[in-house]
Structure 1
């Protein structure tokens, strides 16, 4: 080791001389010499770039929700159309993030299926399994982050739907009260009309009174029918709002269950691979055990024969 000498300085000097001979400027020469000190970072994997892009999209979605939270929740700041537009934008964001997460999952499966296994050691295989496990963890973290952001928006949507239900229910009660108040004046009007008809009984004719009575009956029947129809429409509207909220909550839970099922499936596939690898190692151990047993039997047979031969030879 005494004859080994560090030639790094000589190498740098040779590079500098060669660069000057090729006509490098001072700035180019400085950049070339600095490359020996500051190394360029290694290029990132496509999976890493996609994961970083997905994380940035989720953060942008979270910033968008926080920015428009008051506009979406407060009924006096924006209109229903603007709130629907905000909800549509959030849906587009969530769909894009979900597609990027699916791309990451497909890339993991492609790397797992396209990987070549070495025939000697298991070091390459173990490192590959560690990489795949790390990638699964990244996908799981991104899915949980996306689910937390969507759950935050679900709370805002629940507040909006609850406000809509609260606004629909008091209006229904007020209209019922107005209906009861409108019935009482109609009764008083009927009494007055009956008195007037009694006073002017001699003047008015019988067909005219019958026609007025029929018109009043039809008017009251039509009013009652329209009131019942309005109540039915309001009740249907309330139920539709509740069904929309429940449908969105159900879709959120289905998405969460799909992510959990995918994670369990990946774990099951990994466990199956481990079991197969264990079976191979177990079969190899059985073969080695049988070969060692044969060798021991042969050794004892030769040893016994040698002892008998030596005993016969000595006698």
Structure 2
């Protein structure tokens, strides 16, 4: 029995000699062999590139929020204007990411319409197309959830900011009442000094009218103090309510932004359902027409059959 000899090395040498004879260099041969071992990745589709770009934008937004978290929350690090600037930049980031996600959704719907018109139902191409569309919808859903988590993180920071503003506005009532007593005492002391000076300067004037004037001035001062304190309380309550309304407005805008995608999805489903209903109505109208035409054909067939039977009977007789 003859032995089996491995000629693989001889084959490689012959291929190498043939390649060198055709003008290939050693570096080209090495690159060719490496390409056989390590294959190049297939090029990405435009949808994949856009999805990766959107994911990078969301990551940049998350890094920006983490970087400016302390500056946004701590009131001693930045001013209110700088906080508003950070909030505006985050809003621009979120809007840009939302627009990119909407572009991806529109691209999915356009591809679905175009490929639906080109392919036949029930084929392998149709099944692979449905799998691809489902995968793309899953990618869009993941990006939307990632953006939602990042915006929820910033919403918590914003609620902390507004809660801090409310806490700063509330204790003013306690600290503003003490100076009022001082203000109430100063007019009294001034009036007493004025009365003492007037008494020492003019001894002929009686003390009774001065006491009446002092009493009237004290009453007016107390009335003004009460009115000013009531106005201050009203202003503080209004300021607190305005801050709460601003916080609720920001939270509502965030929730509206989050629900925009769901509303768009429901709108697309409604449009698709409307198209299906219209298509069903057309099919029903065609079925009714076919039914009426078939009924007419049957009546005509029975009439001709009856006439032919009568004619044959008359012909035989």
Would you say the 8 A contact 1:117–1:125 is kept in 2?
no
How many angstroms apart in 1 are the aligned matches of 2:278 and 2:128? Answer: 18
Deviation at 1:74, TM superposition (A): 1.6
Q: Equivalent residue of 1:40, what SS?
A: coil
Aligned to 2:255: 253
How far did residue 107 of structure 1 move?
A: 0.9
Stretch of structure 1 that moved more, 260-269 or 52-61: 260-269
Would you say 1:77 and 2:47 are equivalent positions? Answer: no
Q: Map of 1:1-315 to 2, 5 A cutoff?
A: 16=16, 19-115=19-115, 116-119=117-120, 121-202=122-203, 234-267=236-269
Deviation, 1:251, is 0.6
CA distance in 2, matches of 1:11, 1:179: 106
Cα distance, 1:79 vs. partner? 2.6
- The DSSP-based 3-state class of the residue aligned with 2:171 is helix
CA–CA separation in structure 2 for the residues paired with 1:271 and 1:127: 24
The alignment's TM-score, normalised by the length of structure 2, stands at 0.68
Give CA-to-partner distance per residue, 1:38-66, whole Å, 9 cap, x none. 22211111111111111121122112212
Question: Conserved in 1, the CA contact under 8 Å of 2:180 and 2:225?
Answer: no
1:10–1:175 Cα change, 3 Å: farther
Alignment: residue pair count: 270
Alpha-carbon distance change, 107 to 120 in structure 1, aligned in 2, over 3 angstroms: closer
> 1:99-155 CA distances to partner (integer Å, 9 max, x unpaired)?
211111111121122223334634333332332222122112211111111111111
d(CA) in 1 for partners of 2:150, 2:189: 61
Aligned partners of 1:12, 1:273: CA distance in 2, in Å? 63
- List alignment gaps of at least 5 residues for structure 1: 1-7, 288-315
Please report how far the alpha carbon of residue 88 of structure 1 lies from its aligned counterpart in structure 2 after TM superposition.
2.4
Superposed CA offset, 1:205-228 (max 9, x none): xxxx9xx99xx89x9699888777
| Alignment match, 1:310 | none
Q: Measure, in 1, the Cα distance between the counterparts of 2:108 and 2:148.
A: 21
The answer on whether the counterparts of 1:172 and 1:231 sit within 8 Å (CA) in structure 2 is yes
CA contact (8 A) 1:117 1:124 kept: no
Q: Do the aligned partners of residues 103 and 30 (structure 1) sit closer, same or farther apart at CA in structure 2, a change above 3 Å counting?
A: same
Q: Distance in 2 between matches of 1:227 and 1:252?
A: 38
Deviation readout 1:188-242 (Å, 9 max, x if unpaired) = 43344345434444578xxxx9xx99xx89x969988877776665554433322
Give the corresponding residue for 2:305.
none
Give the CA deviation at 1:186.
2.0
1-structure distance, mates of 2:282, 2:122: 14
**Do the aligned partners of 2:72 and 2:78 also contact (CA within 8 Å) in 1?**
yes
Q: 1:71, 1:83 within 8 Å by CA — same for their partners in 2?
A: yes
Q: Give the match's secondary structure for 1:64.
A: helix
- Aligned to 1:36, what secondary structure does the other structure show? helix
- The superposition leaves residues 162-209 of structure 1 with CA deviations (integer Å, 9 ceiling, x where unpaired) of 1112112223431233224312332343344345434444578xxxx9
Distance 1:193 1:270, change over 3 A: same
Taking only aligned residues, the RMSD between alpha carbons, in angstroms, comes to 4.1
Report the Cα distance in structure 1 between the residues aligned to 2:260 and 2:147, rounded to whole angstroms: 14
